[in-house]
Amino acid sequence: MNEKIEQLKARFNEQLAAAEDSGAVEKLRVAFLGKKGEITDLLKGLKDVSGPEKKEMGQEINRLKSYADEALTQKAAEIKEKELAARVEAAESYDITLPSAVEEGSYHPITLVQREVEQIFASMGFTIEDYSEIVDDYHCFEALNIPKHHPARDMQDTYYLDNGQLLKTHTSAAQNAIMRKYGAPLRAIFPGRCFRNESTDACHENTFFQMEGIMIDKNISISNLIYFMKTMLSEVFKQDVKVRLRPGFFPFVEPGFELDISCLICGGEGCPTCKNSGWLELCPCGMIHPNVLRDGGIDSNEYTGFAFGLGLTRLAMMKYGIKDIRDLNSGSLKTLAQFKY
Ligand code: DAH
């Protein structure tokens, strides 16, 4: 074998044996096989050799090249295995009985309010239901007496999926399925996350929570609605809350109302949260439209019912004095960690 090649091989072997980690092996690969590596240089030098010697040398250098390549790959694999074994061993030395440095978490204010309202309604005989966040046009609009092209849809622009389904704009989207599931008589509440394509400010978010409620039975009237809402709000705020009813239009109730509560942040004097009106729109509600009962499989000659769509996010803001709705979705521990319950 050509002496130069032999020396190079010996030097390569020596250096490979001394390499102790993946970084060192990689450096060797560059030093010998890289663009400007020693073996590469030898191959390049062949152009100055001539005659039968050239072919022989070429074969020898190529053999050395394959040899070095294989040896480097093998060494890299060995080292990787050793490094992994070392990591596993180090992991085994963790003491899982040591106290954690992570501080205790807390419930989100909306979860807290949701649970509280659920408990109050459960104590009044309401079933608590869950429903999907992805719904179809029929459940979100058509079954609620909002046909295609109805102007009421303008208020509820949302996010559409490629398959035509959408993120629900209100918990009312579950009304039809729940009527069909239980039939009448029926008392149910169904909290849920809702979505709208909105510009955000202190009181608007594209993602928020509502809690819908329906009660259907013989002879249900507006008085029943007012009684349940007042009882629930007074329990939540632990005081007699001032409420007012204004007429409101929603295609799925007739008559429909807006139930407002006096702003608990400013005491009714006016602040950014209540848009300086002193009142917060908290709970639209009304008597369920006969078309909606019919689509839900309920005989509207025999049964009547009320429905309400409580703004759970707004309720949490009122209860805890949170001034900016965006804090609730921010994930900011500065705000959220204050709720240790
Ligand atoms: N789903 C309506 C909305 O988000 C709110 C609503 C109004 C719910 C009247 C109701 C109701 O149950 O009776 O805009």
Query: Atom of ligand 1 at shortest distance to CA of 285?
Result: 13
Nearest protein Cα to ligand 1, atom 5:
309
Q: What is the mean pLDDT of the chain?
A: 89
Indicate whether 96 pLDDT > 80. no
Indicate whether 298 pLDDT > 90. yes
Query: Which positions ≥6 away from 109 have C-beta within 8 Å?
Result: 316, 319, 320, 322, 328, 336, 339
Q: Which mutation among 150, 189, 285, 293 tests ligand 1's pocket best, with the greatest number of atoms within 8 A of CB?
A: 285
pLDDT score at 94: 57
pLDDT score at 154: 86
Q: How far apart are CA 156 and CA 173, in angstroms?
A: 12
Residue, of 292 and 272, whose pLDDT is higher: 292
Cis, bond preceding 255 (omega within 30 deg of 0) = yes
141 C-beta closer than 6 A to ligand 1 = no
Nearest protein Cα to ligand 1, atom 14:
170
Q: What does the pLDDT average to over 267-288? A: 87
Q: How many percent of the chain have pLDDT more than 70?
A: 95
pLDDT score at 101: 58
Indicate whether 274 pLDDT > 90. no
Query: Atom of ligand 1 at shortest distance to CA of 194?
Result: 4
286 C-beta closer than 6 A to ligand 1 = yes
